[in-house]
Structure formats: structure tokens, C-alpha cells
């Protein structure tokens, strides 16, 4: 296109990195672009835990409005932050190749992994999913709320003398902020679409959709779509204590999912596999299976208490 493609992004260091990555990929496809930073509501309110704000798409809403108003041409997001039901008139036009999906515990420099055996250990996170899975494994621990951008959250670990805080590994690696004193939580099922970057545009802008198709990673798009379909079929929001991760090996796809109560005392988990002809309905199928095993009761309780 003749004019510069305007890339909408949040102002955090991580968001800007992700937008720059999209800009670089577009440049490799001979499309010039410029960043257009916009402050989101999720960045403004740094005191209330995300699950208490009561708004889906807290980090995407402001960019959605800018897109629909044609102030920007595309918006770049961490896909796990994007609601499963997009604003009317918008679509996910590209999903970049996925980075690490795992969560990590960043330890306080004064603590060691042995200290996690202590009953008085304090772990920081504002994610209900991370809180639930952590308390399932360590029911004696306390959980503290942690908000802010990545750098701010890392600094708070020492400031509050917490034993550690939970982060998405991909986010820390993208801005070269993964410290040496971390533990990879391979047992924790990540959020649907964790580790993936999405590019959103207006649904009727076919020219830009064609441009973005060139930077789409088909495998990542498939896996994250299945994970998000699982979340959508549960009628659970982005902040619900729901985990899902899909991986393709050869001609088979594995899908690991769970639904937990916020205190971790109730948790239903499934590890499923699907053949290519089943990919289109894998997310919904997994949702129906886990709901039938008791996840429906957990989700009903969560809605009643929200």
C-alpha cells in the first residue's frame, strides 16, 4: 500500500516490542508501517486486580475503538488478552509463530526453591488461573495481587519480600528480562493462546487482511484457535481459572485443559488427542467432555460469586 500502515499498540515495553516485531515482519514483506501507541484502560488502573474490573478485553478495548474509528489500521495484542468474541467488525488477521507457552516463577533473590516448602510462603499474581493452580499444588501458601507492566512487577518482588511471582515466560524473554533465578512451571497449564501474538484489523478491509496473511503462522493459528474455542464453549471470560494448551506432533494434536476453583480445591483436568479431521471441533469437544466431568459446577460457582 502507498501510505504507512498504522500499527496500534499499548505503551508498555512488552507491547511495543510485540508491535515492533510485527513492523519488522511486514517490512520483510515490503510493507512499510509506523507505530501508534495508545494507553489502555488496563494500563491506567494498576491497583484493582484484573478479575475485579469486570470487563472483558480490558487491554484491547481502547485499540478496538481506535480501529473502528479508523485512527489505526491494525492492532497488535498478546492473543491471550483478546476476548474470544471480538468487537463487531473486527477480526484476527494474523497470528505470529508462537513463543514459549510456559509460566515461570521468578524467585526473590533472597529465596531458594527450598523456601517453597515453607507454609508461610507468599506468591504474587493477579491471574485467577495461576492462583488456582498454584494453590492446588501448594494449598498452604498465600497469594498476593500483582499488577503493572513486567518491569514494575519484577521490582515489586523484592519490595514486598514475596517468595516469588508468576509470569508468562514469553513476555519476559521478549524484552530480555528473564532473570536467572526462575523456575519453569511445566506442571501449570497456561492460558489459552499464551505465548502468541495476534494482529487484528477491520473485517471489511480485505487489502490489509491480504497483507497480514503473509505473516500468519498456520500451526500457531490452528492451536490457539482450538484453545480459544475451548474457552468460548465454556462461556468463560479471559480472566477465568481455565487453562488450555494445544500442540501438534506429526498428524496428531494433543490438547491439555483444566478448570479449577479459585482456591484450587476443585480442579478437573483432561489430556486429549485429536486427528486432523477432528481439529475443527476439538475445542468444543474438549469443553463438552470437561463440563461433563464436573467443570460445569465449578464455573457455576464462579459466576455466582463474581
Q: What is the pLDDT of residues 250-260, one digit of tens each?
A: 999 999 999 99
Range of the domain at 172: 103-185
From 81, 115, 120, 271, active-site residue: 81
Query: Does residue 92 sit within a domain?
Result: yes
DSSP class of residue 11? S
Residues 6+ apart with CB under 8 A from 44: none
The number of domains in the chain is: 3
The whole-number pLDDT of residue 52 equals: 41
On whether residue 227 sits in a domain, the answer given is: no
Torsion of CA 254, 260, 264, 267, to 10 degrees: -60
Do residues 212 and 68 both lie within one domain? yes
Contact 165, 200 (CB under 8 A): no
CATH code where residue 151 lies: 3.40.190.10
- Helix or strand holding residue 146 (H, E): none
Q: What is the pLDDT of residue 58?
A: 60
Assess if residue 224 is contained within a domain: no
Q: Which of 14, 194, 181 is nearest to 105 (CA)?
A: 181
Q: Residue 276 gets which letter from DSSP?
A: G
**Rounded average pLDDT over 53-76:** 80
CA pair distance 282, 107, nearest whole angstrom: 36
Instruction: Note whether residue 284 is domain-resident.
Output: yes
Q: Annotated catalytic, 210?
A: no
Looking at the fold, whether 25 and 81 belong to one and the same domain comes out as: yes
Which residues are CB-neighbours of 28 under 8 A, at least 6 positions away? none
Q: Judge contact between 192 and 230, C-beta under 8 A.
A: yes
pLDDT confidence tier of residue 290, bands split at 50, 70 and 90:
very high
User: Which cell numbers in the block locate residue 16?
Assistant: 511495543
Angle between helices 218-234 and 282-290 (to 10 degrees): 30
How buried is 41 (Cβ within 10 angstroms: 0-12 exposed, 13-18 middle, 19+ buried)?
middle
Cell numbers given for 145: 495481587
69 and 203, same structural domain?
yes
- Bigger pLDDT: 241 vs 305: 241
Confidence (pLDDT) at 57: 56
Distance CA 74, CA 180 (A): 35
Residues 121 and 67 in one domain: no
Residue 190 within any structural domain of the chain: no
Does residue 10 sit in the same domain as residue 141?
A: no
Residues 173 and 65 in one domain: no
Rounded to an integer, the average pLDDT of 11-38 is 96
Output the CA angle 258-262-265, nearest 5 degrees: 75
Q: Please tell me whether residues 87 and 158 are part of one structural domain.
A: no
pLDDT band at 50 (very low <50, low <70, confident <90, very high): very low
Query: Could you tell me if residue 225 is inside a domain?
Result: no
- Express each pLDDT in 112-133 by its tens digit: 999 999 999 999 999 999 999 9
- Together in a domain, 72 and 208: yes
With respect to residue 222, please indicate whether it lies within any of the assigned structural domains: no
Do 9 and 16 form a contact (C-beta atoms < 8 A)? yes
Residue 240 CA to chain centroid, in angstroms? 11
In a domain? residue 263 = yes
Angle at 169 between CA 164 and CA 171, to 5 degrees: 105
Q: How many CB atoms lie within 10 A of CB 7?
A: 22
Label residue 239 by pLDDT band (50, 70, 90): confident
Amino acid at each position: 500500500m502507498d501510505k504507512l500502515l498504522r500499527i496500534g499498540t499499548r505503551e508498555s515495553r512488552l507491547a511495543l516490542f510485540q508491535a515492533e516485531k510485527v513492523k519488522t515482519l511486514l517490512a520483510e514483506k515490503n510493507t512499510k508501517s509506523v507505530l501508534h501507541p495508545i494507553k489502555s484502560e488496563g494500563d491506567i488502573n494498576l491497583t484493582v486486580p484484573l478479575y475485579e474490573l469486570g470487563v472483558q478485553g480490558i487491554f484491547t478495548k481502547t485499540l478496538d475503538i481506535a480501529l473502528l474509528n479508523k485512527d489505526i489500521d491494525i492492532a497488535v495484542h498478546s492473543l491471550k488478552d483478546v476476548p474470544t468474541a471480538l468487537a463487531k467488525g473486527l477480526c484476527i488477521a494474523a497470528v505470529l509463530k508462537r513463543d514459549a507457552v510456559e509460566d515461570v516463577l521468578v524467585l526473590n533473590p533472597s529465596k531458594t526453591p527450598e523456601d517453597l516448602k515453607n507454609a508461610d510462603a507468599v506468591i504474587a499474581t493477579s491471574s485467577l488461573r495461576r492462583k488456582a493452580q498454584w494453590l492446588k499444588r501448594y494449598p498452604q501458601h498465600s497469594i498476593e495481587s500483582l499488577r503493572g507492566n513486567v518491569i514494575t512487577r519484577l521490582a515489586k518482588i523484592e519490595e514486598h519480600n514475596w517468595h516469588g511471582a508468576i509470569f508468562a515466560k514469553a513476555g519476559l524473554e521478549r524484552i530480555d528480562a528473564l532473570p536467572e533465578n526462575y523456575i519453569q512451571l511445566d506442571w501449570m497449564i497456561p492460558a489459552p493462546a499464551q505465548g502468541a501474538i495476534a494482529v487484528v484489523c477491520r473485517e471489511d478491509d480485505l487489502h490489509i487482511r491480504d497483507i497480514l496473511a503473509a505473516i500468519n503462522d498456520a500451526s500457531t493459528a490452528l492451536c490457539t484457535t482450538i484453545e480459544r474455542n475451548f474457552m468460548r464453549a465454556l462461556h468463560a471470560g479471559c480472566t477465568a481459572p481455565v487453562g488450555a494448551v494445544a500442540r501438534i506432533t506429526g498428524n496428531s494434536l494433543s490438547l491439555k485443559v483444566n478448570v479449577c476453583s479459585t482456591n484450587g480445591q476443585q480442579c478437573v483436568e483432561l489430556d486429549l488427542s485429536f486427528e486432523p479431521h477432528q481439529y475443527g471441533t476439538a475445542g468444543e469437544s474438549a469443553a463438552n467432555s470437561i463440563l461433563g466431568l464436573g467443570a460445569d459446577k465449578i464455573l457455576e460457582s464462579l459466576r455466582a460469586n463474581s
